[in-house]
Chains A and B, each alone.
Chain A
Amino acid sequence: MSVTVNHTPSPALPPPSRVMAGGPLGWVRANLLNGPINAAVTLLLAYLVVRYAISFIDWAFIHAIWEVPNDRFGRPDTALCRDNKGIGACWAVIGEKHRFILFGTYPYEEHWRPAIVCVLFIALYIVSAMRRFWRKELVLVWVATLTIIGILMWGGVFGLSYVPQERWGGLPITLILATFGLAFAFPLAILVALGRRSRLPAIKALCVLYVELIRGVPLISLLFMASVMFPLFLPEGMNIDKLLRAQVAIILFAGAYLAEVVRAGLQALPKGQYEAADALGLSYWQKTGFIILPQALRLVIPPLVNTFIGFFKDTSLVLIIGIFDLLTAAKTSIIEPQWQGFAVEVYVTVGLIYFIFCFAMSKYSAGLEAELNRHRVR
């Protein structure tokens, strides 16, 4: 038996088709139409997207009603909108109610004050987001801005008329709850996170108990606690208004969640940093303040921003205990009989406001993450 080995090489195959590469057509082929199943999925999805986009544009713009005439009592006459229901949106409700949705029952002539407050808040966020301004002076900027905001909202000085807190409402309330909530929850969270990693058993136990209890129950139960149970806790004659009580509940709630984020940062720090600080003979607070926290917080900035987004959204829960934030104002604005049934338009508009804030934060967080991780990318 002899084995013959074929030594003639088989002819080379032709190179793969180059049609797939380059040019917009090539991109479409590579990303949308590779294979029959993918092509079918693309076409189906494209059809659905286009179809619903067209009907949405139809509803929101083409057949929409932007203004309604007044009836003989001087009230807006929404009969036109009612006939148009399901065909076109009735944006007249926004035109009529936008001041109420944004500022609630704040005195109408004084609306410029909450408007400036909103602008100040947004400016504060933008300044705080810039890494150039991450210095100690930023704390002073915060204190100053929040003081100005307080003066503008309450008034009573500098010739501004006094506006009691019960009349505040709308977007400023949402921004106040979110901003003050985080401004106080953050230091609390750092203390609790440090306490949870402490070697002192009693302090550790207290912190664990606090974090786990708060994280185990929904925010609503805390808000209920603030609104119905808290008055029982105080001595007679001592009264704290409802907004402040809700604010305390939000601070306690946010504190527990942020504490877990901060703790993750503390844990992620290499042990050598702690040991090196000890070896230098630094005291506990020197070690924490100069060595540990600056590094640990830097590690967790992206998840911190994500938690901030969560709390910004969660402030809307105060609706349930009847505090007049943006969402409550929106819900209340359509209570009048002639505007009933136009909830979708109002919710879409308010949703857009929430979306702009949250989307900006989420894009910022993603960008920051990329920037902070740049040294890791090879």
Chain B
Amino acid sequence: MSQTTSDPRYGLKPPKRPMRISWSDERFRGIVWQVVVVAIVAAIFWWLWSNTVRNLEVRRIASGWGFLGREAGLPIAESVIPYDPTNTYLRALTVGVLNTLKVAIIGVVLATVLGTVLGVLRLSKNWLVSRFVGAYVEVVRDLPLLLQLLFWYAVLQGLPGPRQAVNPATGVFLSNRGLKLPWFEWLDAHSWALLACVIGIVLTLIWRKKALARQMADGQPRRVWPVALLLCIGAPLAVWAAQGAPFSPDIPYLRGFNFQGGLTVSPEFFALLVGLTLYTAGFICEIVRAGILAVHQGQWEAAGALGLPRGRIMRLVVLPQALRVIIPPMTSQFLNLTKNSSLAVAIGYQDIVSIANTTLNQTGQAIEGIAAIMLVYLTISLSISLFMNWYNTRIALVER
């Protein structure tokens, strides 16, 4: 070993030979091939581009992003930010992006929770439970998502009208107008309390890190949950109470042929969310199961030998190791869910695809419309990838 490394020739590359202009020289061939391929690709794109320019001229289609500032005149049923048809196309597209993000974020959270629970249940020692979850996964994964979305939408539309709405709890109504939930009037005090809660979570995380560091130093475990309770629940409550604890419930009620008040979940959004969640949960379940199975049986046995109960083995020993296997495929599932949310257009939920599609139909500017869709999804995909890669390196095995 030391002999090799001390050898002065070690690590030297062979001397560079001058390239010969001959077909028998590998490097020359490589350069010729690359030039040929790039030239062909460039020629194809140039041809398409020149056709497009000519077609746009002939059909008198304007190009450029000027239409973004014009009045959209397209109605949008549900929106996170205030919007009306007299707003510009830019605002309409923004509403679309926010609607996409809304369904994607809620969907990712719900699918992760449901999928993880199902993945653990799939490995249950209870035969009925594991078979039941297995059957669910098989059915959900072998049917096209679009079919499932149409199915859920049809089921929701087949529900009785508001007057005969299903009413499982006070203030909760499920009808063909969607889901109605009790809510409350959102006041400034609530915003402050929410802020306090976020700060509390951050402080708790810092506290936990310090507690762990001190436990590493002296071996004494410290309780984190009382602090967490105080910071995450107590402090926001105190902030809310300090402002007079305002609370005015907004419970939906039936008036005439429709509901008044409350929080509305439209049938389109509800069907999309249910479909996406159930579908993606099926895939996440299998990923979690494979991840847990990938942890060596010896880890279970060693942790058991230390006297840890099964639940703690799972939480402290197996899951942290399984996460390393789980995270990369999970990332692609999150990306899939986000991209699949574009199927919303088939059931009439107005996400970015739906609104961009209407825009391009109204303005005739197909290239810009589709470019907008692609740009939005590329940005979202890239952000999720970057975040998950960061998380993945954080939990990756620190090797010596």
Partner of A41 from B129, B147, B343, B345 at Cβ < 8 Å: B129
Ordered by A's residue number, 17 sampled pairs between the chains whose C-beta atoms are within 8 Å are A31-B126, A31-B127, A49-B132, A202-B38, A206-B38, A216-B374, A216-B377, A217-B373, A217-B378, A219-B339, A221-B353, A229-B367, A234-B51, A235-B51, A320-B345, A327-B147, A344-B158
B126 touches A41 (CB 8 A): yes
* Nearest chain B residue, comparing its CB with the CB of A204: B34
User: With an 8 A cutoff between CB atoms, is B251 at the interface?
Assistant: no
Contact partner, B125, options A34, A213, A313, Cβ 8 Å: A34
Residue A316 interfacial (CB < 8 Å): yes
Q: Which of B48, B143, B360 has the most chain A CB atoms closer than 10 A to its own CB? A: B143
Q: How many Å lie between the Cα of A309 and that of B48 in the bound state?
A: 33
A234 to B382, CA, bound (A): 31
Q: What CA separation (Å) do A78 and B142 show in the bound complex? A: 32
Task: Give Cα A234 to B49, complex, Å.
Answer: 9
- In the bound assembly, the distance between CA atoms of A206 and B138 in angstroms comes to 37
Q: Are A42 and B126 in contact (CB under 8 A)?
A: yes
Docked pose: A319 CA to B127 CA in angstroms: 40
Is B41 part of the contact surface with A, judged by Cβ < 8 Å? yes
Judged by a CB distance under 8 angstroms, whether A69 is at the interface is no
Inter-chain CA distance A42–B51, complex, in Å, is: 66
List A residues 168-219 near B (Cβ within 8 Å): 199-203, 206, 213, 215-219
CB of A121 within 8 A of chain B?
no
B 132-177 contacts with A by CB, 8 A: 132, 138-139, 141-147, 150-151, 154-155, 157-158
User: Given known contacts A200-B30, A320-B345, is B373 in contact with A221 (CB within 8 Å)?
Assistant: yes
Q: How far is the CB of A32 from chain B (nearest CB, A)?
A: 6
- Give the complex CA separation of A293 and B151 in angstroms: 42
Q: Is the CB of A32 within 8 A of B127?
A: yes
Q: Which single member of B128, B143, B154 contacts A42 (CB below 8 Å)?
A: B128
Contacts of B331 on A, CB cut-off 8 Å?
none
B94 at the interface (CB under 8 A from A): no
Do B138 and A221 touch across chains, with their CB atoms under 8 A apart?
no
Tell whether, in the assembled complex, residue B127 and residue A224 are in contact, meaning their CB atoms are under 8 Å apart.
Answer: no
One of A103-111, A159-167, A350-358 contacting the partner: A350-358
Q: Which residues in A have their C-beta under 8 angstroms from that of B230? A: none
Partner of B34, one of A200, A228, A314, A355: A200
Chain B nearest Cβ from A176, distance in angstroms: 16
Residue of A nearest to B127 (CB): A31
The answer to whether the Cβ of A71 comes within 8 Å of any Cβ in the partner chain is no
Interface pair B143/A355, CB less than 8 Å apart: yes
Q: Contact check: which of B38, B54, B353 meets A236 at CB < 8 Å?
A: B54
Which residues from chain A sit less than 8 Å from chain B, CB to CB?
Answer: 31-32, 34, 38, 41-42, 45-46, 49, 85-86, 199-203, 206, 213, 215-221, 224-225, 228-229, 231-236, 309, 313-314, 316-317, 319-320, 327, 331, 341, 343-344, 347-348, 350-351, 354-355, 358-359, 362
**A231 contacts across to B, CB distance below 8 A:** 55
- The reply to whether A350 and B54 form a contact with Cβ atoms under 8 Å apart is no
List residues of B whose CB falls within 8 A of some A CB. Answer: 30, 33-34, 37-38, 41, 48, 51-52, 54-56, 58, 125-129, 132, 138-139, 141-147, 150-151, 154-155, 157-158, 339-340, 342-343, 345-346, 353, 357, 360, 366-367, 369-370, 373-374, 377-378, 381-382
Chain A residue nearest to B61 in the complex (CB): A232
- Kindly state the separation between the CA atoms of A34 and B58 in the bound complex, as whole angstroms: 77
Residue of B whose beta carbon sits closest to that of A86? B158
Distance in angstroms between the alpha carbons of A347 and B145 in the assembled complex:
12
Complex CA gap A351/B377 in Å reads 29
Asked if B151 and A316 sit within 8 Å, CB to CB, the answer is no
CA gap between A358 and B143 in the complex, in Å: 8
User: Are A224 and B146 neighbours in the complex by a CB distance under 8 Å?
Assistant: no
In the assembled complex, how far is the CB of residue B377 from the closest CB belonging to chain A, in whole angstroms? 5
Q: Are A217 and B377 in contact (CB under 8 A)?
A: yes
Minimum distance in angstroms from B367 CB to a CB of chain A: 6
Specify the main secondary structure of chain B where it touches its partner: helix
Contacts of A355 in B (CB 8 A): 139, 142-143
Q: Is the CB of A218 within 8 A of B377?
A: yes
CA distance in complex: A344, B147 (Å)? 11
8 Å CB contact of A319 from B58, B346, B381: B346
On whether the beta carbons of B147 and A45 are closer than 8 Å, the reply is no
Residue of A nearest to B346 (CB): A320
Partner of B366, one of A86, A216, A219, A229: A229
Cβ contact within 8 Å between A319 and B48: no
Verify B143–A45 contact, CB threshold 8 A: no
Known: A206-B37, A228-B366. A216 touches B378 (CB 8 A): yes
A309→B154 contact, CB < 8 A = no
B143 and A32 within 8 A (CB):
no
B342 interface neighbour in A220, A341, A348, Cβ under 8 Å: A220
Q: Are B370 and A225 in contact (CB under 8 A)?
A: yes
Complex CA–CA separation, A1 to B342 (angstroms): 83
The distance from the CB of B338 to the nearest CB of chain A, in whole angstroms, is 8
Q: Which residue of A lies closest to B340 (CB)?
A: A218
How far, in whole Å, are A38 and B33 apart by their CA atoms in the complex?
A: 66
Contact present for B151 and A344 (CB under 8 Å) = yes
Roughly how many angstroms separate A17 CA and B141 CA in the complex, as a whole number?
A: 42
Q: Which of B340, B369, B370, B381 is the one whose CB lies under 8 Å from A216? A: B381
CA distance A229 to B391 in the complex (A): 38
Which of B41, B154, B346 interacts with A206 by CB under 8 Å? B41
In order of increasing CB-CB distance, the 4 nearest A-B pairs are A343-B154, A358-B142, A31-B127, A218-B339
Please determine whether B128 and A32 come into contact, CB atoms closer than 8 angstroms: yes
Kindly provide the distance from the CB of B163 to the nearest chain A CB, expressed in whole angstroms: 15
Which single residue of chain B is at the shortest CB-CB distance from A221? B373
Known: A218-B377, A316-B147, A341-B158. A359 touches B138 (CB 8 A): yes
Closest to A33 in B: B126
Candidates A38, A199, A201, A354; contact of B147 at CB < 8 Å: A354
- How far does the alpha carbon of A154 sit from the alpha carbon of B314 in the complex, in Å? 60
B382's partner among A34, A216, A341 (CB-CB below 8 A) is A216
Taking a contact as CB atoms under 8 Å apart, the answer to whether B353 and A354 are in contact is no
The smallest beta-carbon distance between B354 and chain A, in angstroms, is 10
Would you call B147 and A217 a contact (CB within 8 A)? no
Distance between B282 CB and nearest chain A CB, rounded to angstroms: 12
Please measure, in the bound complex, the distance between the C-alpha atom of A348 and the C-alpha atom of B143, giving whole angstroms.
Answer: 10
Taking a contact as CB atoms closer than 8 A, the residue among A46, A199, A224, A354 that contacts B128 in the complex is A46
Whether the pair A224, B51 counts as a contact (CB closer than 8 A) is no
Contact A233 B48 (CB under 8 A): yes
Given A203-B34, A221-B370: A354 touches B127 (CB 8 Å cut-off): no
| A233 and B128 contacting across the interface, CB-CB below 8 Å | no
A362-B373 Cα distance, complex, nearest whole Å: 33
Excluding A41-B129, A314-B144, A359-B142, 8 further A-B contacts by CB distance (< 8 Å) are A199-B30, A200-B30, A218-B342, A220-B353, A313-B144, A344-B155, A354-B142, A355-B142
